[in-house]
Amino acid sequence: MTEFIPTERTQIHRLPKRGVYDREKVYSILDEGMVCHVGFVVDGKPVVIPTGYGRKGDTLYFHGSPASRMFQTLGKGVDVCITVTLVDGVVMARSAFHHSMNYRSVVIFGKASLLNDPDAKREALQAFTEHVAPGRWQEIRQPSEKELHSTIVLAMPLDEVSAKVRTGPPVDDEEDYALPVWAGVLPLELTPAAPVPDDRLPKETPVPDYVRAYSRQRT
């Protein structure tokens, strides 16, 4: 299926023209992002926790400590809402009212499930590592059995999903276009700086290509 079917929770009602349900476009946003915010209710109170994630196919993965309240709660199969947002620019209008941002965001609803099989957990952690730095998994020491045992991995099916996107210049009231005020878009992007080697790294160790040419843009 090339598109997500809108549900009562994912249908975009506010500015519906910004709604995106195309699966490939939604996944491109998820693949460029690095941090998701996980919302759930525990003991009758709402909680939102930022965490890293990885995607493989139609599943989102995230991991943490068995002592984490979030992972203990989500592992019980409670309802969860996950969001990912990319800010592409500050939209400066001629009036305060019409200032905005260009952005791409994804909202996911559902229930997460625990992965208990060691091979499934290892595959999920590979997806997580490759999401952060493609090519890294094959170079590093991979998780030991002890490390796998001490890590909780949750899988979130990407079934009930939608995206919302704003692009373009400011939209001012017609009478405001005559105001002598600069208006337009200030583009923003995540740009890596020069890699900083670990103090205990041998000086002759080369910087991998995937670090030297790091980018969140996915081909």
pLDDT in tens, 132-178: 999 999 999 999 999 999 999 999 999 999 999 999 999 999 999 99
**Residues 177-193: what's their mean pLDDT?**
96
Q: What is the second-level CATH architecture of the domain 16-171+182-212?
A: Roll (2.30)
pTM (whole model) above 0.85: yes
For the chain, what are the domain ranges? 16-171+182-212
C-alpha span between 71 and 155 (Å, rounded): 11
Does residue 1 carry a pLDDT above 80?
A: no
**Which residues contact residue 139 at a Cβ distance below 8 angstroms, ignoring those fewer than 6 apart?**
208
- What pLDDT is attached to residue 63? 95
